[in-house]
């Protein structure tokens, strides 16, 4: 138990004199705002100095396996001048007013927190120095810090942070914007490998994940959802279910997909999840789904063909006169590319535990986006956001699925109906597959024109995607800066929309995971027509090192060139070679070039080795974790391409039931070697959860082409 201590608005560090081991971060350790008007997003990190001179640092972001629970505390510890052995890490609750943005998505945590978290650490250090200066009555400029102590070298005086903590807490917090940050040359934590803080618990099977939540008196909920997305509950008969001993009732809720006043999900509550799950067979439901059963994979394919028969409805980006340039081009290359809907299939099925008591709702939520979950859950429960307390659990895989919070919305409503009883709602694998927010499918009709000198003079795409009223659905948009749009004089990125009833969402490297395949595979075709290999074609089109504007981010052609050159050197790229392919992509502020070697063994495709060169700025904060992230990205990308992954829809509903219908990469299909290198450039560090994924897909497709002579223009690749 941590000691609850009264805390003035100005206090900053609070020494916990209890010195106990089981600590929870609470108000006693808040890095409080220096003034009431200070912006909350830069003043809400956590630091607690313990009596034994260990320092507890709050990790504010949801941990989904990306390593953020170690990485953000590393930034604070670095500037505080702590020895890593002193650091204790605790997950904070969800509270953006205290901690700032707490989202695990878009590889944004590194760029967003690189400076603010260091400022928090530097401010803490400064206050400890001030406390020592006062205690010793010396000029703070004569003091330095190291390994959790303040030192005056001239006098040999030294004081541990623990001995100074109480006084430090009474110091006026410095202006975060004015604190002095370390010279990177002095870093001794940033850039060093730090293992995952929860690993010792994981290997012992200790409870960490949302699904492991246990609250005294807890009951369990299994869900039955309208199979056709957007359908609602017309009526249900729960008499047979309620007759089962241990079943407590059935609650109908709106998971957020259907209009207010309607419901689309029935939750059976029992004293065991196994019992609730089994009881579903006895629940008789009539669904109202006539409006949505017409949607299917076959319909989308027909709709895409219809859209291609007409001019594009709109354009994401246009320059010059591509039609005129194509008419004059020496060579014209055209091709159609497509990719399917995909599920996230995180291994921990969706779940959430909730307790409604005295008008307040408490949630234990494995959410990547708890602030959105708070707002939506409050809305569907008829509460204010302030009525909700959200505890963040470790998450058994995110991949973007848990950026959307239907499980919180469901659990909140069920808890409200079962007031006073904690309820854990858990999807089974089929629920998880059939009620996801899918990576949208897409179809592209591409045309490129080359001049007599082989230069790219015109580029056109017609992208058939999903949307309504001239706007794309979530994660189905065209990036106006899709390469090579910005480096071609005549370009048109046309877009047309068709309807879907499916909820769509962001899947790791959203949009990019599909666009990299389409554009880098097609550019390999264009390069071949120009008599070049893709790396050389990229170098020529990238041109001089410079920054190009972009809707999402500026694109630096020199950094792109840097990773292309690096991977070609390491892999020993010698132009087009049998069984070898290349891909480059820029997304989430990261530049990645990859080379894939493939072979055929017993009629089956085998990926032998992958080389990765990435530029995520001047520092790779935690190399041990960075390597793991890059490997995961590469293998996940290969999985999207080579093992048949696709989500199929019939009569408005998803057909996949389990991993037999939607395969994930297994160890025997994973390459035996993945060589990763980071090209350090003088830019602030950026995220690594996603950008290494997209280029491996075109690199694989391009490798298969050199091996078999067949171009694969549809995902999943149908090889053999």
Partner 1 sequence: MSLSLTVNGRKRTVDAEADKPLLWVLREDLDMPGTKFGCGAGLCGACTVHLDGEAVRSCQTPIADAAGKQVTTIEGVAMNELGKRVADAWTALDVPQCGYCQAGQIMSATALLKQNPKPTPDDIDGWMSGNICRCATYMRIRAAIRKAAGLPAEMADASAIPAGEQLA
The sign of the dihedral angle between the CA atoms of 335, 444, 587, 678 is negative
Residue 606 in contact with partner 1, rule: CB under 8 A: no
The verdict on 428 binding partner 1 (CB under 8 A) reads: yes
443 binds partner 1 (CB under 8 A): no
Task: Identify which range of 194-202, 247-255, 384-392, 442-450 contacts partner 1 by CB under 8 A.
Answer: 194-202
Site map (CB under 8 A) of partner 1, residues 349-368, x = contact? x-------------------
| Smallest separation, CB 675 to partner 1 (Å) | 5
How far is Cα 106 from Cα 117, in angstroms, rounded to an integer?
18
Two structure tokens written together for 559:
């950094």
CA 103 – CA 96 distance, rounded (Å): 10
Q: Does 601 bind partner 1 (CB under 8 A)?
A: no
Answer for which of 30, 109, 211, 534 binds partner 1 (CB under 8 A) is 211
CB atoms within 10 A of CB 239: 9
Residues 6+ apart with CB under 8 A from 489: 319, 320, 325, 457, 458
Which span sits near partner 1 by CB under 8 A: 113-121, 408-416, 460-468, 629-637?
A: 629-637
Q: Which two tokens stand for residue 186?
A: 């002095």
Report if residue 155 touches partner 1, rule: CB under 8 A.
no
Distance of CA 395 to the CA centre of its chain: 12
User: Which value, to the nearest 10 degrees, does the dihedral of the CA atoms of residues 63, 69, 75, 81 take?
Assistant: 170
| Among 81, 338, 636, 690, interactor with partner 1 by CB under 8 A | 636
Shortest distance (Å) from residue 347 CB to partner 1? 4
Cα 572 versus chain centre, distance? 32
Instruction: Give the nearer residue to partner 1 in terms of CB position, either 140 or 191.
Output: 191
Of the candidate residues 3, 41, 93, 198, the single one contacting partner 1 (CB under 8 A): 198
Phi, psi values for residue 602, rounded to 5°: 50, 45
The contacts of residue 255 (CB under 8 Å, 6+ apart) are: 225, 264, 265, 406, 409, 410, 435
Is residue 200 near partner 1 by the rule CB under 8 A? yes
CA atoms of 342 and 288, how far apart (whole Å) = 26
Question: Which residues between 235 and 274 bind partner 1 (CB under 8 A)?
Answer: 272-274
* CA 42 to chain centroid: 22
Residue from 422, 436, 430, 446 nearest 338 by CA: 446
Cα 77 to Cα 541: distance, rounded to the nearest angstrom: 43
Whose Cβ is closer to partner 1: residue 98's or residue 715's? 715
- The token pair that represents 432 in the structure block: 């998880």
| Residue at token pair 């200070």 | 38
346 binds partner 1 (CB under 8 A): yes
Q: Does the footprint of partner 1 cover residue 572 (CB under 8 A)?
A: no
Q: Which is nearer to partner 1, 51 or 208 (CB)?
A: 208
Which of 49-57, 393-401, 480-488, 570-578 is the region at the interface with partner 1 (rule: CB under 8 A)?
393-401
Site for partner 1 contains 65 (CB under 8 A): yes
**Which range in 163-171, 383-391, 447-455, 622-630 contacts partner 1 by CB under 8 A?**
622-630
Q: Is 608 in the site for partner 1 (CB under 8 A)?
A: no
Q: How far is the CB of 703 from partner 1 (least distance, A)?
A: 19
Residues binding partner 1 (CB under 8 A): 63-67, 193, 195-196, 198-200, 202-209, 211-212, 214, 220, 272-275, 345-349, 394-399, 426, 428-429, 623-629, 631-632, 634-636, 639, 658-660, 664-668, 670, 672-676
């Amino acid at each position: 138990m941590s000691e609850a201590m009264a805390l003035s608005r100005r206090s900053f560090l609070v020494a916990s004199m209890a010195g106990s081991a089981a600590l929870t971060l609470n108000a006693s350790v808040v890095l409080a705002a220096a003034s009431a008007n200070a912006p909350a997003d830069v003043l809400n990190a956590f630091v607690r100095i313990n009596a034994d001179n260990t320092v507890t640092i709050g990790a504010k972001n949801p941990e989904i396996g990306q390593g953020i629970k170690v990485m953000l505390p590393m930034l604070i510890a670095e500037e505080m001048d702590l020895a890593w052995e002193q650091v204790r890490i605790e997950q904070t609750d969800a509270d953006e007013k205290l901690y700032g943005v707490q989202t695990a998505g878009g590889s944004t945590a590194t760029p967003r927190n690189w400076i603010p978290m260091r400022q928090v650490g530097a401010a803490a250090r400064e206050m400890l120095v001030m406390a020592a200066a006062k205690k010793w009555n010396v000029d703070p400029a004569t003091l330095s810090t190291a390994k959790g102590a303040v030192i005056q070298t001239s006098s040999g005086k030294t004081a541990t942070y623990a001995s100074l903590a109480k006084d430090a807490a009474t110091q006026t917090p410095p202006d975060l914007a004015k604190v002095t940050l370390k010279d990177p040359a002095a870093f001794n934590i940033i850039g060093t490998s730090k293992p995952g803080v929860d690993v010792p618990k994981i290997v012992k099977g200790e409870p960490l994940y949302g699904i492991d939540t246990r609250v005294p008196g807890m009951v369990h909920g299994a869900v039955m959802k309208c199979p056709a997305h957007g359908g609602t509950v017309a009526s249900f008969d729960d008499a047979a279910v309620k007759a089962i001993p241990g079943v407590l009732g059935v609650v109908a809720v709106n998971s957020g997909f259907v209009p207010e006043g309607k419901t689309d999900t029935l939750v059976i509550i029992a004293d065991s999840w196994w019992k609730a799950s089994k009881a579903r067979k006895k629940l008789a439901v009539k669904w109202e789904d006539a409006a949505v059963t017409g949607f299917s994979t076959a319909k989308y394919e027909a709709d895409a063909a219809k859209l291609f028969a007409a001019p594009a409805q709109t354009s994401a980006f246009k320059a010059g006169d591509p039609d005129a340039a194509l008419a004059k081009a020496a060579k014209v290359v055209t091709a159609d590319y497509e990719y399917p809907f995909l599920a996230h299939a995180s291994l921990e099925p969706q779940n959430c535990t909730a307790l409604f008591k005295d008008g307040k709702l408490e949630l234990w939520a494995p959410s990547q986006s708890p602030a959105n979950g708070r707002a939506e859950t409050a809305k569907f429960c008829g509460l204010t956001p302030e009525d909700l307390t959200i505890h963040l659990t470790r998450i058994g895989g995110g991949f973007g699925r848990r950026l959307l919070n239907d499980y919180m919305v469901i659990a909140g409503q069920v808890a409200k109906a079962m007031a006073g009883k904690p309820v854990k709602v858990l999807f089974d694998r089929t629920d998880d597959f059939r009620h996801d927010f899918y990576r949208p499918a897409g179809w592209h009709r591409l045309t490129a024109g080359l001049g007599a000198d082989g230069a790219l003079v015109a580029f056109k795409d017609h992208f058939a995607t999903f949307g309504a009223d001239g706007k794309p659905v979530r994660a189905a948009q065209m990036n106006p800066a899709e390469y090579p749009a910005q480096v071609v004089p005549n370009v048109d990125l046309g877009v047309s929309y068709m309807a879907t009833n499916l909820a769509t969402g962001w899947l790791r490297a959203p949009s990019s995971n599909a666009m990299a395949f389409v554009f880098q595979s097609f550019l390999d075709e264009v390069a071949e027509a120009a008599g070049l290999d893709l790396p050389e074609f990229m170098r020529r089109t990238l041109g001089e090192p410079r920054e190009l504007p972009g809707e999402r981010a500026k694109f630096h052609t020199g950094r792109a060139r840097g990773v292309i050159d690096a991977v070609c050197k390491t892999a020993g790229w010698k132009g087009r070679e049998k069984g070898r392919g290349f891909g480059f992509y820029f997304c989430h502020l990261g530049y990645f070039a990859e080379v894939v070697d493939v072979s055929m063994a017993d009629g089956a495709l085998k990926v032998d080795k992958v080389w990765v060169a990435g530029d995520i700025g001047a520092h790779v904060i935690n190399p041990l974790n960075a390597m793991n992230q890059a490997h995961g990205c590469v293998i996940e990308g290969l999985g999207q391409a080579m093992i048949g992954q696709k989500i199929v829809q019939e009569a408005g509903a998803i057909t996949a039931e389990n991993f037999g219908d939607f395969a994930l990469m297994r160890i025997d299909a994973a390459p035996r070697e993945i060589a990763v290198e980071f090209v350090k450039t003088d830019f602030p560090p950026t995220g690594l959860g996603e950008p290494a994924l997209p280029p491996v897909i075109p690199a694989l497709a391009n490798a298969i082409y050199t091996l078999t002579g067949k171009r694969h223009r549809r995902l999943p690749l149908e090889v053999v």
